[in-house]
Amino acid sequence: MSQGILIVGHGLAGAILAHSLLESGENVRVIDSCSSHSATQVSAGLINPFIGPKLNMPKDFDRCMDANLSFYKMIERYAEQKFLRSIELFRVFQSATQKDRWDKLPGPYKNKTVSSEQCWDSGLFANYGAGVTKAWKFDSQGFINFSKKSLSSQNRFNETSFDPKRWTDHLVVFCEGFRVLENEWFNNLPFAPAQGDVLSIESSNDFHASNGTWHIPEGNNGLARVGSTWRHDNLESGPSPSARDEVLKRLQFIPSVQNALINLHLSGVRSGTKDRNPIIGRHPEIKNFFLFNGFGSRGCSTIPLAALEFTNFITRGTPLPQHKNLSRFM
Ligand X SMILES: Cc1cc2nc3c(=O)[nH]c(=O)nc-3n(C[C@H](O)[C@H](O)[C@H](O)COP(=O)(O)OP(=O)(O)OC[C@H]3O[C@@H](n4cnc5c(N)ncnc54)[C@H](O)[C@@H]3O)c2cc1C
Cα(185)–Cα(167) distance, integer angstroms: 15
Minimum distance, C-beta of residue 209 to ligand X, in the bound complex (Å): 13
Minimum distance, C-beta of residue 272 to ligand X, in the bound complex (Å): 9
Minimum distance, C-beta of residue 258 to ligand X, in the bound complex (Å): 21
Chain Cα centroid distance, residue 294: 10
Q: Got the DSSP string for 211-223?
A: SSSEEEE-SSSSE
CB nearer to ligand X: give 129 or 175: 175
Instruction: Give, in order, the Cα–Cα distances in Å from 169 to each of 14, 149, 312, 314.
Output: 19, 26, 21, 16
Instruction: Give, in order, the Cα–Cα distances in Å from 310 to each of 14, 69, 272.
Output: 12, 18, 19
Instruction: Give, in order, the Cα–Cα distances in Å from 170 to each of 187, 268, 270.
Output: 21, 30, 28
Minimum distance, C-beta of residue 62 to ligand X, in the bound complex (Å): 16
CB nearer to ligand X: give 215 or 270: 270
DSSP alpha helix (H) spans, the chain? 12-23, 61-79, 96-104, 116-122, 140-153, 241-250, 299-316
The two counts, helices (H) then strands (E), for the chain are 7, 15
CB nearer to ligand X: give 129 or 304: 304
CB nearer to ligand X: give 129 or 177: 177
**Number of neighbouring beta carbons within 10 Å of residue 156:** 17
Minimum distance, C-beta of residue 312 to ligand X, in the bound complex (Å): 20
CB nearer to ligand X: give 129 or 209: 209
Q: Is 228 helix (H, G, I), strand (E, B) or coil?
A: coil
CB nearer to ligand X: give 225 or 282: 225
Minimum distance, C-beta of residue 33 to ligand X, in the bound complex (Å): 4
CB nearer to ligand X: give 128 or 162: 162
Query: What angle do helix axes 299-316 and 12-23 make, rounded to 10 degrees?
Result: 40
Residues making contact with ligand X (CB under 6 A): 8-14, 31-35, 38-40, 42-46, 161-162, 175-179, 196, 198, 227-228, 268, 270-271, 293, 295-301
CB nearer to ligand X: give 37 or 282: 37
Cα Rg of the chain (Å, integer)? 20
Minimum distance, C-beta of residue 32 to ligand X, in the bound complex (Å): 4
CB nearer to ligand X: give 99 or 291: 291
Minimum distance, C-beta of residue 9 to ligand X, in the bound complex (Å): 3
Minimum distance, C-beta of residue 4 to ligand X, in the bound complex (Å): 16
Length of the chain: 330
Cα(119)–Cα(308) distance, integer angstroms: 40
Instruction: Give, in order, the Cα–Cα distances in Å from 323 to each of 20, 23, 155, 178, 195.
Output: 21, 25, 35, 20, 24
Sheet (strand 5-8) strand order: 157-159, 28-32, 5-8, 171-174, 289-293, 279-282
